[in-house]
Amino acid sequence: MDTLLATQTCWILSSRAASTAAVIDGWLAGGSAGRDGALEKLAFLSTKLQGFRQHVDLLHECLVEIAPSFTMSGKLADIIPRHLGQSDVATTIMSEQLLKWARQPATPTQTINLATVAQCEELLVATSRVFIFITQLLAIHDVEDQCSRIDASEAQKLLARADAACQSVWTSKVIF
């Protein structure tokens, strides 16, 4: 695993989450009128972006602190770049589409696709949980223990959920 690339990807993900949340918050603060449910969903998405950012920042800190002296299993070394990379692609798609939507003149909240917002929320929740899991694994110095935790059925479900959430955003044709 390339630790430098992983830490750079964490920084990019964190910055993207912060800027996307700021765009949503700015748009909501602009007094946009529309469906209350749509506005609530956008506000909730902003909150999820901020939480996602916190988990990415914690992962970044762990990678920076442990990188020089840490021995990790091959499985953990595979999981980290895979999930950071998938999250990078999926959050790029989400962010670009949301920014494009928000820049439209007089963006009506009626054009908010609530199913798409739900996909984005699922992406942020599922990938945040993977980053929490990875952070926990980075605190374990026994390679066999890392592998056994990764192989556990709950961990496999967690990883599969994040994979599915990323795939859902990648293949979605319905945008905000």
Is the pLDDT score of 9 beyond 90? yes
pLDDT over 70 at 170, yes or no? yes
Asked if residue 34 has pLDDT above 70, the reply is: no
Q: How confident is the model at residue 146 (pLDDT cuts 50, 70, 90)?
A: very high
Least Cα distance to 127 among 5, 27, 9, 42 occurs for 9
Max CA pair span of the chain: 56
| Stretch 93-110: mean pLDDT | 78
Q: Which of 37-46, 98-107, 113-122, 146-155 has the lowest mean pLDDT?
A: 98-107
Domain count, the chain: 1
The rounded distance, in Å, linking the Cα atoms of 149 and 136 is 10
Q: Is residue 160 part of a domain?
A: yes
Domain membership flag for residue 50: yes
DSSP 105: T
Among 68, 50, 56, 71, smallest CA distance to 137 is for: 71
176 in any annotated domain:
no
Domain that residue 117 falls in: 3-171
pTM recorded for the entire structure: 0.91
Q: What is the pLDDT of residue 64?
A: 92
